[in-house]
Each structure stands twice: as structure tokens, then as C-alpha cells.
Amino acid sequence: MFEQIAHITHPKRHDPAPVRRAAKTMAHAERVLTELVNKIITERKYDEPIAKLNPIVTSGANYTSQLFGVTISGKDKPDLNLFAKVAVFGEKIRTQGLDSLFKSEQYFYTKIKKIYRDLEDKHNIPDEHRFEIPEFYGCNETKYEEVIVIEDLTARGFRISDRLKGLNWEFAASAVTELAKFHALGFAYSAEDPKKFEESCKPLKAIFTTKDDKMKVLSKSIADKAIAAASIDHKEVMKKFLVNFSLDMFEMYNKPLHRPVLTHNDFRVSNLMEKIDERGRTHVRIVDYQTIRGGSPVIDLLYFIFSSTDEQFRAQYYDQLLDHYYTELSLAMKRLDLNPDEIYSREDFEIEYKTKLPFGLSLAVFVLPIVTIDENNAPKLNDEMDMSSFVMNNTSDLFPERLNGIISDYIRWGVL
């Protein structure tokens, strides 16, 4: 068989129990990934291959997978730079709504990607206006051993932006442009083949729909954290807003008022990669399709705005960003030979956005503690994790700052 060399570095821990759990998790991830890498080597007929597996530390940006950079070298072939995700969450968290994450992403790369490429080919979309999806190299669908391998975008100069820093307009505009292309393809798919689109949505399961007592306790704990983080002036209004807070509201708000699209459902900085070219232009690529499903396009826009922007950015660019999204969506629909006024008019968008705007604050209550957590307090990856791991007991100072900024905006907009 092929010779393989795997360079693995283990994170340093001080407590013996976390050391053992981390080592067990890493060993499992390395083993299942090596099996798939061997398959890729065989399929691509590498001569004298060497594969290097390098664990990636995400510092609180990822909680469901052990990530790896993979380099495959061989005689008379250029190096192949890959990015791998290996599932590390165990039975506890799978039974609480997250079992479908890897299945959804595998479905996106093996089914939806080709459908979207065919649509772009059919309508002769120029390269510069195509929705960019990372190259897919393979996956393992076996439960507890799920792996996805795609191209490593860092080899082309893309980087994950710092989730703890405020956004600039160039990044936000480029991200929203890509989102508009993504949604336009969903509109084209649902318009051209409604029955097939509906069938494609069925395997894409919702998360946070478990209604057992543990989820109710989790919802209350999340709400309590938000109320504690609210400023004195905001506490009463937040108590009133969160009196019926539940993770099940994610499902309610996801339902579209008009035609559905495939939504990303976790559209935030940590799932966007940025590259600035030699002319100073910003390019963004969307990654991590674990939560993709059919629903309202507005959800992705709300997710981005209220998980990734700060009060200062919104004061300067909020209206401009909404206008930019619909302008780019309209252009993308027209390139796909759709009439925006018939498919999803500006009026449709504005009504749906206004109707679902309260969800932005609900989403921030849940997501911001995770997005803003510092590295030392982030949950540690292991198969003992459950949903309670996402109640951040030691939130950063950035959490109340971002949350109170959103509350202030909602009061100013007349939502609260």
C-alpha cells in the first residue's frame, strides 16, 4: 500500500482528564481521516505518495468537528492541498438536534453543488458572476466517522476573518454579494423545478427542534445570560422580550413568507473566507454548509448582520447593506433569466425582512455568546459534549457590548 506520513501535534492541557479526552478525540479523527485520504490517493493515482495531516486550532470558531489541513505529495504531481472536517460530537449532542449536520453538508457537496453548476451552465453565467463553491474531494458517511474533504482555500490566499473584530464595508458587501448569488440559485432551482426543489429540501433537517425538558432548561439559561448582560436601562425590555424565548422559534422564523430558497443558516464571519487581491479588491467565499436547508432568504441576512456586525458598523452601513443585498439579488436573478418582480420583488423582500426582524435579536441572544467567546473559555471538542456546552458560563466583555448595541438599535427602530 502507499506510504503515509502524518504529522500530528496535540494541544497542551494541564488537567489529566481533558488530556485523555483530547487525545482520544484526536486519535479517532486522525484514523478516520487517514482512511479517506488513502482513498483519494488511490483514485488520483499518486506515485510514491506522502500525506501530511496537520490539525487546525480554531480558537472557538468551530464546535462540531476536528479540522485538518492535508497535503498530498507524489512523484511528478503538484501538491494537493486539502481541508478536512471530521465529526467529533458524540451521542449526547446528536440526540439533541445536531445529528443531521454532516449529512446536510455531504448532501450539499454531492447533490446541490452539481444542480447549481448545471443552472449556471444552462444560463451561461460568466465566470466572474458565478457562485464559488470549494472543490469537493470526498466524504465518509458512516455515523460517528463522518468526514468531508474539500480544497484548502488558504492555498489560494483566502483566510478566515477575525470574529472578534468589527467588519469593514468591503468585506460585508462582498459577503452579501455572494449570499445574493447563493439565494438567486435557490430561486432559480425552485422556479424551474418546484417538485425537485421540494424533494431536495426534505433531507435537510432542522436543528433545535427537540422539545424535551433539557432544551427548555437550555433556552432559559441562554435567556438568563442575555438578561444578565443587558445594561440597567435595557434589562426590563429584555425580560419582556425573552419571556417566551425558545430555540424552537428558529424553526418558526425560518418559514418563508414567499418562495423558499436553500439557506445557509449559519451565515457569520467564522464561515466566510476573505482574500484581498493585488488590486485591493475583497473576495469572499462561503464555507461550512452543515446547516443548509430550505427556508426564508431573510434569515441568512439577519444572521450575518446580528452575529457579525457591531453598532458602529450598523450606524454607518445598515440601510446601505440591505439595499446592496437586494440590488445584487436582483442582478443575480436576472442573469438566471428570472424576473425579480415575479419571483421576489423589492416589496416582498422589505415586508419579509420587517416581519422577521425580531428574530435578529433572538438569534443574537443565542449566537453572540458563542461568536464572541475568547479562546480560553471556548468549549473543548470531545464526544461528551451536549447542548449545555453552548451555554457560555464565562462570556467575554465583547458579548454585552455587542448585545446592548443591538438592543439600542431595536429600541431606536421601534421593534422593542
Q: Could you say which of 2.60.120, 1.20.1070, 3.90.1200, 3.40.50 is the CATH number of the domain covering 99-134+154-413?
A: 3.90.1200
pLDDT tens-place string over residues 207-249? 655 556 677 778 888 899 999 999 999 999 999 999 988 877 8
Lowest mean pLDDT among 81-95, 103-117, 124-138, 383-397: 383-397
CA distance 230 to 372: 15
Give the pLDDT band of residue 356 (cuts 50, 70, 90): very high
Q: What is the arithmetic mean of pLDDT over 385-410?
A: 80
Give the residue carrying C-alpha cell 439557506.
263
89 has a pLDDT exceeding 90: no
9 has a pLDDT exceeding 70: no
374 has a pLDDT exceeding 80: no
Compute the half-sphere exposure of residue 379: CA atoms within 13 Å on the CB side of its CA: 24
pLDDT tens-place string over residues 263-285? 999 999 999 999 999 999 999 99
Q: At what angle do helices 297-308 and 169-192 cross, to 10 degrees?
A: 160
pLDDT at 5: 41
108 has a pLDDT exceeding 80: yes
Give the sign of the dihedral formed by CA 325, CA 327, CA 331, CA 334: positive
Q: Calculate the CA dihedral of residues 284, 286, 288, 290 and round it to 10 degrees.
A: 160
Cβ neighbours of residue 170 closer than 8 Å, sequence gap 6 or more? 282
Neighbours of 101 (CB within 10 A): 25
Give the residue carrying C-alpha cell 445574493.
180
Q: What DSSP state is assigned to residue 65? A: E
pLDDT tens-place string over residues 296-345? 999 999 999 999 999 999 999 999 999 999 999 999 999 999 999 999 99
Higher pLDDT, 392 or 80: 80
Domain boundaries, the chain: 99-134+154-413
Task: Pull the grid cell for residue 318.
Answer: 445598515
Cβ neighbours of residue 399 closer than 8 Å, sequence gap 6 or more? 229, 368, 369, 372, 373, 392
pLDDT at 385: 61
pLDDT tens-place string over residues 247-258? 778 888 899 999
Class of residue 88 by CB neighbours under 10 A (exposed 0-12, middle 13-18, buried 19+): buried
Q: Are 92 and 69 in contact (CB under 8 A)?
A: no
Beta-sheet strands, E only, within 264-355: 272-276, 282-286, 293-295
Q: Which helix (H) or strand (E) holds 305?
A: helix 297-308
Task: Pull the grid cell for residue 165.
Answer: 473584530
